[in-house]
Structure 1
Amino acid sequence: MADRQPADRQPADRQPADIRPAAPADATGIAAVYAPYVLTSVATFETEPPTVAVLRERMASGLPWLVACDGRDVVGFAYASAHHERPAYRWTVECTVYLADAGRGRGLGRALYGRLLPDLVARGLVTALARITLPNPASVALHEAMGFRPAGVMPQVGFKLGAWHDVGLWALRLVDPPPGSR
């Protein structure tokens, strides 16, 4: 990608944070990053910030959660979750990234996905999906830069902050489906 530079040659404002698998102790920092999205934006359709305990339960799902940290501060996170509970969907996950103000404009969304997506491939998953409340040009640009392609729009499926919102679906084929998959 044209705007990527080697990690040791990135401008100061794009210095990478430490990206690593999330641990239960990171749930407090994840909650701090996520709560403003829940309370003031339509990036998520949750309307009450989840508790640290609820986030820890979600993190224990068996699918990857990653954090981007500046020192001890979580400045972003990404994770995969099951697309649907029915068995035929077991090859498909939904992915998302959230960044604190301190994490924006530093390439951390790409860096988090750059670690998350190969992990999904290693697990044998076939398709990654992303739901994006529209309009959200920054999220669309991130997902398309990572290879996601538009798969459709669900019109006016969420009501939050006094308005109805469309949600776009973006899809990324991680690997070719295995023949005769069980």
Structure 2
Amino acid sequence: MYQGGYLEIRDVIATDAKQIAHIYNHYIQSTFISFEEESVSSQEMSARIEHVQRQNYPWIVALHDDEVIGYAYANTWKPRSAYRYTVEVSVYLSHQKAGKGLGTQLYRQLLERLKANRYENAIGSIALPNHASVRLHERLGFSKVGEFVGIGYKFGEKRTVGYWQLDLQSL
């Protein structure tokens, strides 16, 4: 349960793009959690949301006092048809709202929607080290299945990416 008060979770709408970009840009500019290196405009975020929605994947947002404070979505894991029942999932929170149960609540709703839509596997990619994200994924039943060492560069340093998998039918 979210410890920050009343919380509404709903499907994303076009006007959420600006607040979502603001949340995401914090991670681009200040962390290695995202491997993007340039900030994303609200127009670019709007295009990304539309892309996910056109594929009929869920994208949900959490609101507190009408402000988007977190979001979660699914996207294509790999484009080949053999992977059609597997998705990659992501969750991002306003950095001021982390550690209050919001990520768990968002992810649970996203995973339930994916299961209801007959997806079978969810993949979480985590830039390491990231103890909070690892705990979140493992708390929800994900298991670590692999790691690519030093695969990316951010802020002039090599970064490792770990992969966690969840069998959605086990929910």
TM over 0.5: yes
One-letter amino acid of the counterpart of residue 173, structure 1: D
Corresponding residue for residue 130 of structure 2: 136
TM-score computed with the length of structure 2 as normaliser: 0.91
The within-5 A match list for 1:32-111 is 32-60=22-50, 61=52, 62-111=56-105
Which of residues 7, 15, 20 in structure 1 aligns to 2:10? 20
State the structure with more CA Rg. 1
CA distance in 2, matches of 1:147, 1:15: 26
TM superposition shift of 1:18: 1.2
Residue by residue over 1:65-106, the C-alpha shift from the partner in whole angstroms, topping out at 9 and shown as x without a partner, is 111111221111111110111111111111111111232121
Alignment coverage as a number of residue pairs:
166
| Unpaired runs of at least 5, structure 2 | none
CA distance in 2, matches of 1:27, 1:52: 5
TM superposition shift of 1:164: 0.2
CA distance in 2, matches of 1:74, 1:83: 26
Q: Does 1:119 align with 2:113?
A: yes
Which of residues 119, 137, 142 in structure 2 aligns to 1:148? 142
Corresponding residue for residue 158 of structure 2: 164
One-letter amino acid of the counterpart of residue 29, structure 2: L
CA distance in 1, matches of 2:95, 2:6: 15
Question: Which stretch has the larger CA shift, 55-64 or 105-114?
Answer: 55-64
Higher relative contact order (CA 8 A, sep 6+): 2
Identity of aligned residues (%): 38
| Unpaired runs of at least 5, structure 1 | 1-6, 177-182
Q: CA RMSD in A?
A: 1.5
Residue by residue over 1:150-180, the C-alpha shift from the partner in whole angstroms, topping out at 9 and shown as x without a partner, is 001111111011100110000001128xxxx
TM superposition shift of 1:51: 1.9
One-letter amino acid of the counterpart of residue 138, structure 2: E
